[in-house]
């Protein structure tokens, strides 16, 4: 049987609607770029359908780009199932460099295309916040025009998600929240993705 071609999905919904659970069902090995808080990661470690651990937690450490990570490996075969790499701003008030770590990570990612069946961004909401904090406190901290921080973060995410991730040769899942302002489409109110710029 021929392998299915990769699919690219934007999964958006309210908090607690099952976006992470959905992403965790995709083919393995699965790489998660985790931007949300650690309590959102449970479906990557435990199977919600059975309540059982997906496997052994191993590989706890820090990547060469500076972000903490852990692996979930099969208890039966020892094979890697899921890697979760956390991009967190632990020192947000001093040097919020999580998004800069992510840019370094992606610069080297081309060498790993054959290692991953699925890549997940979880979620755009916190990813955008990290990009904006990098603009505000590191990249453009002397500006007199704060709107430049929002514009810089929007440009960064548009390039990364619409150009880079849209062309990755594996399954891609991008989790996002719902924009609270509904859009009108042919007289019908629609809920859309909460994301900056053209991503919405």
- pLDDT of 2 reads 53
| Sequence-ordered list of residues with C-beta below 8 angstroms from that of 178, at least 6 positions apart, any chain | 12, 13, 14, 191, 192, 193, 194
- pLDDT of 128 reads 93
| 3-class SS of residue 137 | helix
Residues in the chain where the model's pLDDT stays below 50: 1
Structure tokens at 113: 């295309």
Q: 113, 155 in Cβ contact below 8 A? A: no
| 3-class SS of residue 131 | helix
- pLDDT of 193 reads 64
């Amino acid at each position: 049987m021929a392998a299915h071609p990769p699919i690219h999905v934007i999964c958006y919904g309210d908090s607690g609607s099952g976006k992470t659970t959905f992403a965790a069902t995709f083919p393995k090995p699965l790489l998660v770029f985790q931007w949300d808080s650690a309590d959102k990661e449970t479906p990557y470690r435990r199977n919600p359908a059975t309540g059982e651990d997906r496997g052994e937690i191993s590989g706890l450490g820090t990547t060469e780009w500076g972000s903490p990570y852990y692996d979930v490996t099969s208890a039966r075969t020892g094979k890697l199932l899921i890697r979760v790499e956390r991009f967190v701003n632990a020192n947000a008030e001093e040097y919020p460099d999580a998004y800069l770590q992510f840019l370094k990570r992606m610069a080297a990612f081309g060498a790993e295309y054959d290692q991953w069946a699925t890549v997940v961004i979880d979620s755009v909401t916190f990813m955008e916040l990290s990009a904006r904090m990098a603009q505000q406190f590191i990249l453009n901290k002397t500006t007199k025009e704060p709107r430049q921080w929002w514009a810089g973060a929007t440009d960064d995410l548009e390039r990364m998600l619409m150009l880079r991730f849209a062309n990755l040769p594996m399954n891609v899942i991008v989790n996002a929240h719902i924009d609270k302002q509904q859009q009108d489409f042919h007289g019908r109110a629609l809920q859309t993705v909460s994301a900056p710029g053209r991503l919405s």
